[in-house]
Amino acid sequence: MYWADAANIAALFVRNPDWAVQFDMDAEAARQTRRRLADRVIRENMLLAGYHLPGSSIGRLAVRGNGYDFTPLAA
């Protein structure tokens, strides 16, 4: 799945998907969208890609506490 700007600062919003910033025009919709996309990626064992993700920007997502953890694929 390519989720573009769903998490514009991955270190914050992948780990804390319920946080919001002023760029989220509808903070509640942004929270719900991040969770819905992340849960689907994990449930369907998809690779995840996104503009703001670290490393190769393609990798795996896993549940970590109340948020998620992104692990980039090796380049």
The domain limits of the chain are: 10-72
pTM (2 decimals)? 0.89
What size, in residues, is the chain?
Answer: 75
Residue pLDDT, tens place only, 22-49? 888 899 999 999 999 999 999 999 999 9
Q: How far apart are CA 64 and CA 14, in angstroms?
A: 10
**13 contacts 27 by C-beta, under 8 angstroms:** no
Average pLDDT score over residue span 51-63: 93
